[in-house]
Amino acid sequence: MRKITLSEYNAIPEDYRGIWTVERWDLPDWAEIREKHIGKRTMMVNDNGTCLLVEGMGFEIVDDSTWKKPGEVRQEIGGLYLKFYSGQGREPHYADCTIRWNDTLETVEVRIALSMDSNTKMDDEIFYYCNGVDDLKSLADKSMEDFTIAECLGFGIYEELLQTT
């Protein structure tokens, strides 16, 4: 079943989405399947031809109204970065973040390297490598990656990781 956020659903032109209100008594089994259709949200998609998807059967809408917007996440990253840099007096090596998978919309906490080399003792701890804080901020927007950053939890340095393992 396809998952879509409420924002994405509402962004679909009204000609291609709506609420099922039409009774289909011309269908022999309409009485049995009526409750699966009437009052459900629908959307037209091009999936090997044009087809109508019905909420609960072809797609699920996930309410994203409480999620942080990409601009808020970028601002959060910048604030936590400045706090780390002013407290430590040096660049962080990694960021602990919550990411959201683009396909399932599920979240997971991960560690993203900022200025760490790959092929180190900590490779198993690193989910993703990027080149600095601006690269990290760019992951808050949907891109070619399979995920977006939903929240930044904080920054750290490589030496601290080695002490905890």
String of DSSP letters for 35-73 = GGTTT-EEEEEESSSEEEEEBTTTEEEE--TTSPPHHHH
Q: What is the pLDDT along the chain (165 residues), one digit of tens a residue?
A: 899 999 999 999 999 999 999 999 999 999 999 999 999 999 999 988 899 999 999 999 999 999 999 999 999 999 999 999 999 999 999 999 999 999 999 999 999 999 766 666 667 788 999 989 999 999 999 888 999 999 999 999 887 665 665
CB neighbour class for 93 (10 Å; exposed up to 12, middle 13-18, buried from 19): buried
Angle at the Cα of 28 from the Cα atoms of 26 and 33, rounded to 5 degrees? 100
On whether both 156 and 85 belong to a single domain, the answer is yes
Q: Which residue(s) pair with 103 in the sheet?
A: none
- The whole-model pTM stands at 0.78
**Number of domains into which the chain is organized:** 2
Q: Single out the residue in 21, 38, 62 at which a domain terminates.
A: 62
Q: What is the DSSP letter of 90?
A: S
Residue 51 sits in which domain range?
2-62
| Cα of 116 vs its chain's centroid, Å | 25
On whether both 78 and 51 belong to a single domain, the answer is no
